[in-house]
Amino acid sequence: MKYISLLLMSFLLVTNHYAQEEAVEGVEAAETPEMIAEDPVTPEETMTPEEQAAADEKAAADIAAAAEMETKKLEQWAETMQYGISDQRLATVKRIRIDKSTNALALLEESFPEDGSSTVKEEIIYTFIDMEHSGNTPFWDTLFANEKNLIVLQRAAYAVELMDIPVAPSVFTALSNNMADPKAMRFNASAVQALGKLKAPEALPMITELATNITNHQDLRSASVVALGMYQDETLIPLLQGFLTNTIESRIIRRYAALAIGRTENPIAITILSPIATDEQEEQTVRLNSIAGLGYVGDEELLPILEQLTKSDNTAIRTESIKSLGRMKAVGAQDILEYKAFNDPEAIVRREAKKALQEMDVDVDALEQERKDNR
């Protein structure tokens, strides 16, 4: 196939380029007295011209062999994606993801439109997400224009949200076309959040209406409420606060309103969410999302509040507080996170504390070894 030949040619050219650079650097080092003085070459390390030529020949042969193996693998995958049954195609996509084979991503983009299996298409999208491959805009535009399977569309909308793929008009068109279909609710909810993440101005009136209309399905309303927060527009905070403080509003909407206020990343959120996060009389899911929302704001003044919450006897409250500290990369909370990572009685808390430390680039394995050595 043409793209495989191009990939091989590119692979060989880049490899040859770096090989030449390394050779030149070697000559420079040999001819520079200062560098010889810093890093002398012993007689045992010196190669004769014949030995150097043999080593270069072997290196070139190894590169060619690796390139040939990669080409054969790509050819086999391409053949399977074209002629294999769905189970074989699915296995191929999974193998590409496991191998982190970036050279095969173009193959998946090429295969996607013609593949008749929604399961394979879902797996391709998962692979793009896992390998952080946002691809090219036309691929996603075509997907949203032509795909009929609602689950595949939902996965694609999730990918757009996660990777900030700039295809808001295409997502908005697909949302508009499916809005009247009750079976499309899950896709519509994912599309709304993707549009919120992209801050699509054309979608804001529709999303506001979806959030405020109490006759809409609460999953769609919840997604719309969160999407409003993602716009990070301060003028929308009073609307979101109204959802949160309205005691006759459903618990689910209040819960997601708390998260949405945090997603604005506006300091005003601290004043709104802190009292709810610390109120032991408040409904727990609303408290948890208030704590999660504070993590998105990420202000240092939150450290005392969140640190205090990590001492709660309530496991869920401790866990969510630690997640927020990790989201904030709160270096000032490292001591308490280290304690929780190795001493909290609950495994889920210990696990999340270790994740939070890793978010701050702390070597958790080294910490654990140090603690063992000090016993």
Per-residue pLDDT tens for 225-246? 999 999 999 999 999 999 999 9
pLDDT for position 210? 97
Cα 256 to Cα 160: distance, rounded to the nearest angstrom:
21
B/e letters for 19-47, b = 16+ CB within 10 Å, e = fewer, are eeeeeeeeeeeeeeeeeeeeeeeeeeeee
Average pLDDT on 278-304 reads 95
Q: Quickly state the pLDDT bin for 125 (edges 50, 70, 90).
A: very high
pLDDT for position 143? 97
pLDDT for position 112? 97
Does position 43 have pLDDT exceeding 80, yes or no?
Answer: no
Which of 20-34, 40-54, 172-186 reaches the highest mean pLDDT?
172-186
Question: How far is it between the farthest Cα atoms of the chain?
Answer: 86
pTM of the predicted model, to two decimals? Answer: 0.80
Cβ contact 243:233 at 8 Å? no
Tokens of 326: 């990790």
Cα 117 to Cα 196: distance, rounded to the nearest angstrom:
30
Cβ contact 135:166 at 8 Å? no
- Least confidently predicted of 7-11, 58-62, 235-239, 243-247: 7-11
Average pLDDT on 99-116 reads 95
Cα 64 to Cα 111: distance, rounded to the nearest angstrom:
28
Cβ contact 124:153 at 8 Å? no
Tokens of 157: 């909308």
> Over pLDDT 70: what percentage of the chain?
87
pLDDT for position 14? 39
DSSP code, position 216 = S
pLDDT for position 359? 92
Q: Quickly state the pLDDT bin for 48 (edges 50, 70, 90).
A: confident
Cα 300 to Cα 327: distance, rounded to the nearest angstrom:
12
Angle subtended by helix axes 137-146 and 150-163, to nearest 10: 150
Please report, for the chain, how many H helices and E strands are present, in that order.
Answer: 21, 0
Cβ contact 310:318 at 8 Å? yes
Tokens of 371: 């603690």
Cα 370 to Cα 366: distance, rounded to the nearest angstrom:
6
Q: Quickly state the pLDDT bin for 271 (edges 50, 70, 90).
A: very high
- Least confidently predicted of 34-48, 97-111, 191-205, 338-352: 34-48
pLDDT for position 354? 96
pLDDT for position 50? 76
User: Would you list the domain boundaries of the chain?
Assistant: 1-12+69-133
Cα 375 to Cα 370: distance, rounded to the nearest angstrom:
9
Average pLDDT on 156-161 reads 98
pLDDT for position 233? 97
Q: Cα 222 vs. chain centroid, distance in angstroms?
A: 22
pLDDT for position 29? 36
pLDDT for position 53? 76
Does position 26 have pLDDT exceeding 80, yes or no?
Answer: no
Does position 30 have pLDDT exceeding 90, yes or no?
Answer: no
Q: Which residue has the higher pLDDT, 41 or 97?
A: 97
Cβ contact 296:327 at 8 Å? yes
Cα 82 to Cα 145: distance, rounded to the nearest angstrom:
23
CA atoms within 13 Å, Cβ hemisphere of 25: 6
Tokens of 342: 């190795």
Q: Quickly state the pLDDT bin for 89 (edges 50, 70, 90).
A: very high
Average pLDDT on 242-253 reads 94
DSSP code, position 299 = -
Average pLDDT on 260-286 reads 96
Locus of tokens 């009292």: 275
pLDDT for position 253? 97
pLDDT for position 373? 83
The mean pLDDT value of the chain amounts to 88
DSSP strand E in 200-338: where? none
> Over pLDDT 90: what percentage of the chain?
77
CA atoms within 13 Å, Cβ hemisphere of 239: 21
pLDDT for position 35? 39
Average pLDDT on 39-52 reads 66
Which of 4-18, 28-42, 51-65 reaches the highest mean pLDDT?
51-65
